[in-house]
Every structure is written in C-alpha cells, then in structure tokens.
Amino acid sequence: MEFSQKELYQLINLAQSPLWLVGVDLSDANLSRAPLAAADLAWSNLQGADLRGADLEKASLRGANLANADLRNTNLKDANLEGANLEGCKLQGAIMPDGNTYYK
C-alpha cells in the first residue's frame, strides 16, 4: 500500500497511539514536525527524509536507514538508534538519546 505525502502526514497526525511502521519505505518523505514519539520505525528506510523538528522521543529506529536524513532540531531523547545508519545526517540542534543537544 502506498500513501501520498498528504495521506501519510494525516495518518501520523491523527494517530491516537504510537505508530507501528516497521520496515516501511519513507525515503525522501517530508515528516518535519511529525509527532512520532514512541513510534516503532525499526528497519525502516528513512533515507533522505526531512525530519526537522520531529518528535521521536522513545521511538525505535533500530536498524533504520537514516542516511542523508535531515534531523536538525529533532527530539531523539531515549530513542533506540542501535544499528541505525546515520551516515550523512544533519543533526545540528537535535536532542540525542542521552538528552544532550548536538552542536556540530
């Protein structure tokens, strides 16, 4: 099943509980400011996705492909990034899993 960008954003914003998006292809998706706290995005493809300002607190990104994703000002506090590909990510201003802000 494929969703348009508008349908995807509506689905995320209308969800009443954490989303289960294991293994989905969200490459190049615009998910800026998306409420994805506690979502399960394990093994998902988020390559090149725009996640600026998204709330990913306590989300599972285990094994996810985040290569070249824009994670500036994203909340990743307590997120599981074990085995995630972060190559080429923009992380300026992101709150990292340990609660510290990334400033490089």
Q: Which two tokens stand for residue 2?
A: 């494929």
Tokens coding 82:
């074990």
For residues 30-55, average pLDDT = 95
CB count in 10 Å sphere of residue 100: 10
pLDDT at 45 over 90: yes
- Average pLDDT of the segment spanning 5-21: 75
Output the pLDDT for position 40.
Answer: 96
CA pair distance 87, 65, nearest whole angstrom: 9
The predicted-structure confidence for 56-103, as pLDDT tens digits, reads as follows: 999 999 999 999 999 999 999 999 999 999 999 999 999 999 999 998
The pLDDT assigned to 21 comes to 87
User: Please, what sign has the CA dihedral across residues 72, 77, 79, 84?
Assistant: positive
* Separation of alpha carbons 6 and 23, rounded Å: 20
Q: What is the pLDDT of residue 54?
A: 96
The predicted model scores a pTM of 0.88
Backbone angles phi, psi at 14, to 5 degrees: -95, -5
Looking at domain 1-96, what is its CATH homologous superfamily?
A: E3 ubiquitin-protein ligase SopA (2.160.20.80)
Query: What is the rounded average pLDDT of the residues 15-29?
Result: 86
- Cα–Cα distance measured from residue 62 to residue 103, given in angstroms and rounded to the nearest whole number: 23
